[in-house]
Structure 1
Amino acid sequence: MNRIWNTVATLSFGIILMTGCNKFLEEKSDKSLAIPTTADDFKALLNDWGYVNSDFASMGEACSDDFYLTDEDYSSLYYESDKRLYSWMPDYVTRSLSGGGHEWWHCYKGIYVSNSILKGLDENNLRDRRANEIRGQALVFRAARYLDGIQIWAPVYNRETAASDLGMVIRLDPDMNLPSVRATVQETYDQILKDLAEALPILPVSTISPALPTQAAAHGLLARAYLIMGDYDRALQNAEQSLSFQSNLIDFNDLDEQASFPIPVTNQISSEVVFFTRMYGSNMVNNLDIAKINPDLYGMYQDGDRRKAVYFRADNEGHYLFKGTHMGHSGLITGITTAELLLISAECYARLDDVDKAALTLNRLMINRLNKQSYQPYQFQDKHIALNTVLAERRKELIFRGLRWSDIKRLNRDGASITLHRTINGQNLNLMPNDKRYAIALPEDVIEISGIQQNSR
């Protein structure tokens, strides 16, 4: 056990160095710390979900239109960075370089751990089946981090401009002395797809926990990535592949809607989760006592929709608050679920003009969400009605999952013309479709330390 803790300490030190914090650059490393060399060492790092599964970005969720803050709640936000994020300011001043509120740091912390595992496996010539399984899982975690980050800090994928739009800093080596240079959006997606494709043949079919990636998880992430990119054939293929491994759905008719957190969990994660990652606990998003549900969104849930009671509760002032988490407490997941995969498949079928399969796939989900006594299966004759219906169900189903910001960006790219509105202390704010602020500004301390290029403002 001490060896594993020492390993984590070594990696933590490296992560801090990677951020470029000068005071740590002046410190000498403790050579007594153990260096990971065995498959057990690297597996232990993968099992530390606080490092690899946790702290995915909540910034997009904080900027989206699923919730709002009252003026009192907005004024009570402790950090100026949260206020600026909520009001779509074109810059972002972070709270601290190596801790709370620094989602860029958290993103590259996970990438650093993955890179350290991959390099360690190579340097120690670990090539057996178990080592290859660990390699595949590290590749999935790296891809998941890059896919998460590019939704926040880059423009939406656009075939016309992806080769020139600024994407993520691609790091494939844990060496913190390598310079930081932003890749393009195309190069970032290429790396995500490459990592997942390389991982697939060496991943296990099943694991003891969805916190560890499987073939279903890799296919699920590929489906999500291709959907964002607008490649609906490949998104559909991968969603269906993932569902062929795991298709569990919870019947919301069986849940206690009066419970504080009605969705049942096993080992802290619900049975619908294919791949578990969770959102960083920002004051706005994860504080489910102040994030008020957009009334227009709440109004989309019709009578007989069990999600209306399973997902929401009313506070003493008549606002609706979210409680439909998949963790049995206020923690919010960002990973792949069977519900998301069904919605990806249904959307792709609709876009590819197969409205019958779109309805059939959507109904697999809806029969587990609507009151069975009044349930009427969807039937579609028109492609546009089918697509709009699926997109409406996607928004209702995947609330507080870190996906809405990405959805707004890709739908506006394709002409949806979604405009976001906020009212803060009597001032009306609008975020127009395809505004440059949809690529959230990189933390200013990162720009100062690394010299990488900031997003356009």
Structure 2
Amino acid sequence: MKQLFILFAAFILPGCNKFLDKPGDPTRKVPKTVADVQMLLDQPLANGSTFIGADEYYVSAAFWLYMMEANANYYFTWLPNNNTAMVGRDFWKESYNAIFNTNVGIEILNKVPVTAANKKEWELAKGSAHFVRAWSFLSVAWLYANTWHEERSKNDLGAVIDLDSDFLNKLSRSTVAETYDQILKDAQEAVKYLPLYPDNPVRPSRLAAYGLLARIYLSMRKYDEALQQCNLYLAELNALLDYNNPAEVQVDNDYPFSLFNKEVIYNNASVYSGSTFYPLDFNTVAVDTGIIKSFHNNDLRKRAFFKDYGEFWQFAGSSMYETPMTGICTDELYITRAECYARQGETGKAMKDLNDLLITRWTSGTFVPFTASTKEEALTIILDERKKELLFRGLRWMDIKRLNEEGANISIIRKSPDHTKTGVLLPGSPRFAMQLPEDLVINFGYQQNPKE
């Protein structure tokens, strides 16, 4: 049986409460029209708070005293404490709320005849539904499943593939291979229906779907396919912010980036709840000092991304201001294409993409283009810059998982401020697939991920 909370939670999200079927209340209704479906889909998507598991931050002494037992447990062991906190539970719930909404929407759209009058709106809603479902299943896969692998994914546990609105169906976890098959199918369907550009960046578009597909293929380590999607995107949209231009980026402001700046094709923020994850939340965690030191003083991102709070530095580089920006942006496509070119041995093209990006980030006249004579040298440079450019975008956890499959051997090490406690997540650890919320295992029989 599907988790019953999906039915109720799905309809209390902002923008959806008018669709509650409450007898006797004329202000509430069951969605029936294309406009109703679009309203169901016009809300932020779960994604990205994977930063709590990754290596981009630490908890400073200033907030250490506020660390709740359960969050301390996750911080050092990467195992949620289901008895005392919600770490991880919102990631699952929010994704499946969105999936439920898309299933409702697709079923409604399949009953609405397409006419000359409604074709544009119908196609936008249809494409949006498939985009949302692909995005949401991908979030679940990145958090709760092992990295895609040609052989192991045929047996590894993936998402619960839920494709209709009947919450009484008995479901079980699919394999990772089946999960990614569904993700790709939905994303490719989105491309068929969505307009090239969005009428508003909070809605998906064909360009956003190209960006999503690039993420999917990159996380599967299918670099040729990821390159194709980057090319489709960058052939249409390749403008980058100039960090030297105060009209585009105000590097010394508390919020340097405008909300809908020209690099943002799809605007989205991650699941965030200060009361749930405190002090593991975006506004309190300290940026890893090694990352800050990796920025050259002429690199304007150092001023734009980080704000000095004395004992520690906080990240200020999100265009969403108070929450991590996890949407699709042009800079991500540049650096993804650079990596894909490098893996093909096209070092000249790889370094050109990287340098075209970075010259817009450094103080005018100071940037010396990077060069590489080998594929391996190019990859080292590009991956270092990827970590810096895409900081707190909700991508690092996925990157660590896939790069460890490539032999990167990345471990995550955490220490308490008083140095009395240490946690280490080693490459290949099963804890890179987050534990399912315990109530799903108890109530619905979903197979739990291994801890060891």
Same fold (TM over 0.5): yes
Aligned to 1:37: 32
Aligned to 1:93: 82
5+ residue gaps, structure 1, are: 1-11, 20-27
Q: Counterparts of 1:100 and 1:404 in 2: how far apart (Å)?
A: 17
Tell me, yes or no, if the aligned pair for 1:81 and 1:92 is still in contact at 8 Å.
yes
Deviation at 1:444, TM superposition (A): 0.8
Q: Does 1:233 align with 2:231?
A: no
Q: Does 1:406 align with 2:394?
A: no
Q: Which AA in structure 2 matches 1:270? A: N
Q: Does 1:315 align with 2:309?
A: yes
Tell me, yes or no, if the aligned pair for 2:230 and 2:336 is still in contact at 8 Å.
yes
Deviation at 1:45, TM superposition (A): 2.0
Tell me, yes or no, if the aligned pair for 2:71 and 2:80 is still in contact at 8 Å.
no
Aligned to 2:17: none
Check 1:30–1:94 CA distance in 2 against 1; reply closer, same or farther (3 A cut): farther
Q: Counterparts of 1:177 and 1:81 in 2: how far apart (Å)?
A: 32
Deviation at 1:89, TM superposition (A): 3.9
Deviation at 1:394, TM superposition (A): 0.3
Alignment of 1:81-160 (within 5 A): 81-93=70-82, 102-126=90-114, 128-160=119-151
Q: Counterparts of 2:424 and 2:175 in 1: how far apart (Å)?
A: 28
Deviation at 1:245, TM superposition (A): 2.6
Tell me, yes or no, if the aligned pair for 2:75 and 2:423 is still in contact at 8 Å.
no
Aligned to 1:396: 388
Check 1:243–1:95 CA distance in 2 against 1; reply closer, same or farther (3 A cut): farther
5+ residue gaps, structure 2, are: 12-19
Q: Counterparts of 1:137 and 1:264 in 2: how far apart (Å)?
A: 25
Tell me, yes or no, if the aligned pair for 2:208 and 2:266 is still in contact at 8 Å.
yes
Alignment of 1:257-272 (within 5 A): 257-265=251-259, 269-272=260-263
Aligned to 1:427: 421
Equivalent in 361, 369, 372 of residue 364 of structure 2: 372
Cα RMSD (Å): 2.4
Equivalent in 49, 70, 78 of residue 60 of structure 2: 70
Aligned to 2:180: 189
Secondary structure of residue in 1 paired with 2:250: coil
Q: Deviations over 1:379-409 (max 9, x none)?
A: 2221111111110110000011111111101
Deviation at 1:42, TM superposition (A): 1.4
Deviation at 1:368, TM superposition (A): 0.9
Q: Counterparts of 1:285 and 1:214 in 2: how far apart (Å)?
A: 35
Deviation at 1:95, TM superposition (A): 6.4
Tell me, yes or no, if the aligned pair for 2:335 and 2:354 is still in contact at 8 Å.
yes
Tell me, yes or no, if the aligned pair for 2:10 and 2:98 is still in contact at 8 Å.
no
Tell me, yes or no, if the aligned pair for 1:61 and 1:285 is still in contact at 8 Å.
no
Check 1:221–1:83 CA distance in 2 against 1; reply closer, same or farther (3 A cut): same
Q: Deviations over 1:15-73 (max 9, x none)?
A: 23889xxxxxxxx96345422221121122223x2xxx244241x21011110003552
Alignment of 1:240-389 (within 5 A): 240-254=231-245, 255-265=249-259, 269-283=260-274, 284=278, 287-317=281-311, 319-327=312-320, 329-389=321-381
> Any runs of at least 4 consecutive aligned residues in structure 1 with deviations exceeding 6 A, and if so which?
94-97
Tell me, yes or no, if the aligned pair for 2:63 and 2:279 is still in contact at 8 Å.
no
Check 1:81–1:274 CA distance in 2 against 1; reply closer, same or farther (3 A cut): farther
Tell me, yes or no, if the aligned pair for 2:22 and 2:29 is still in contact at 8 Å.
no
Deviation at 1:124, TM superposition (A): 3.3
Aligned to 1:443: 437
Q: Which AA in structure 2 matches 1:383? A: K
Q: Identity of aligned pairs, percent?
A: 32
Q: Counterparts of 1:338 and 1:253 in 2: how far apart (Å)?
A: 18
Q: Counterparts of 2:114 and 2:6 in 1: how far apart (Å)?
A: 22
Q: Deviations over 1:322-363 (max 9, x none)?
A: 111112x21211111101100110000000000010011111
Q: Which AA in structure 1 matches 2:60? A: T
Secondary structure of residue in 2 paired with 1:102: helix
Q: Counterparts of 2:280 and 2:411 in 1: how far apart (Å)?
A: 24
Q: Counterparts of 1:155 and 1:123 in 2: how far apart (Å)?
A: 37
Check 1:57–1:363 CA distance in 2 against 1; reply closer, same or farther (3 A cut): closer
Tell me, yes or no, if the aligned pair for 1:96 and 1:102 is still in contact at 8 Å.
no
Q: Counterparts of 1:342 and 1:57 in 2: how far apart (Å)?
A: 20
Q: Counterparts of 1:349 and 1:74 in 2: how far apart (Å)?
A: 43
Check 1:411–1:13 CA distance in 2 against 1; reply closer, same or farther (3 A cut): closer
Secondary structure of residue in 1 paired with 2:153: coil
Check 1:287–1:247 CA distance in 2 against 1; reply closer, same or farther (3 A cut): same
Deviation at 1:294, TM superposition (A): 1.0
TM-score by length of 2: 0.89
Q: Counterparts of 2:129 and 2:431 in 1: how far apart (Å)?
A: 32
Check 1:289–1:334 CA distance in 2 against 1; reply closer, same or farther (3 A cut): closer
TM-score by length of 1: 0.88
